[in-house]
A and B are shown apart, each in its own frame.
Chain A
Amino acid sequence: GQNIDQPTEMTATEGAIVQINCTYQTSGFNGLFWYQQHAGEAPTFLSYNVLDGLEEKGRFSSFLSRSKGYSYLLLKELQMKDSASYLCAVRGTYKYIFGTGTRLKVLA
């Protein structure tokens, strides 16, 4: 079967670093995406990994290991506005498979 696993909820403190993990089992792999979704708003694109390694974009970084079926999203210098759900999605051959999302709460 195809599935994506990510933690349901995480809590972190403002200014800290948090790592959100995603493991996947899919038929075919053509890239892994992370989206951010604030409550009541559209999911917005954060990052894309198709090769192994780390992609850094400002305070956000995303890592991929295809052999392990594993990715993580790293958020540094957390801000209150980072409180949101983070969706991991894998593009298979022609389909996207989404995880349930990780709801991150950033505390002052």
Chain B
Amino acid sequence: ETGVTQTPRHLVMGMTNKKSLKCEQHLGHNAMYWYKQSAKKPLELMFVYNFKEQTENNSVPSRFSPECPNSSHLFLHLHTLQPEDSALYLCASSQDRRANYGYTFGSGTRLTVV
């Protein structure tokens, strides 16, 4: 266990479904991130939250909607996804936005869109 917990671990959804991914950390970190990991591609930064405020949206389609109700929880709401959105979605946290000491990652949610 890294201290960052993601649920569910696996998710299969149809293109018309709505689902949410959840991330939780109790490390006292103030910055949280969503990354997308696809085969043979670098990790792609999607969203950054610092002290509950979104500080970065990396040109992510609106079918992905993040929510950060407090510094310990981060959600990614999904709707009307496409098959190419199938990937591993990783949540990460760091002490602050500078992330001087790197990230702590969760184990990810393996998403399959059918």
Contact = CB atoms under 8 A, between A and B. Distances in A.
A binds B: yes
Interface size class of B (residues with CB under 8 A): 20 to 34
A33 interface: yes
A100 B100 CA distance: 21
Given A45-B102, A48-B101, A99 B42 contact: yes
A100 B108 contact: no
Nearest to B40: A100
Interface size class of A (residues with CB under 8 A): 20 to 34
B99 interface: yes
B27 interface: no
Interface string B25-65: 00000000000000011110100000000000000000000
A42 B3 CA distance: 11
Contacts, number: 46
A96 B45 CA distance: 8
Interface stretch (A12-20, A57-65, A67-75, A87-95): A87-95
Q: Determine which residue in B43, B90, B98 has the highest number of CB atoms from chain A within 10 A of its CB, and name it.
A: B43
Interface in B62-104: 90, 97-104
A94 B42 contact: no
Contacts of A45: 102-104
26 contacts: A8-B40, A30-B100, A31-B100, A35-B105, A40-B107, A40-B110, A41-B107, A42-B2, A42-B4, A42-B105, A42-B106, A43-B105, A44-B2, A44-B105, A45-B103, A45-B104, A87-B43, A89-B43, A91-B99, A94-B97, A94-B98, A96-B99, A98-B42, A98-B43, A100-B40, A100-B41
Given A35-B102, A91-B99, 6 more contacts: A31-B100, A40-B107, A96-B45, A98-B42, A99-B42, A101-B42
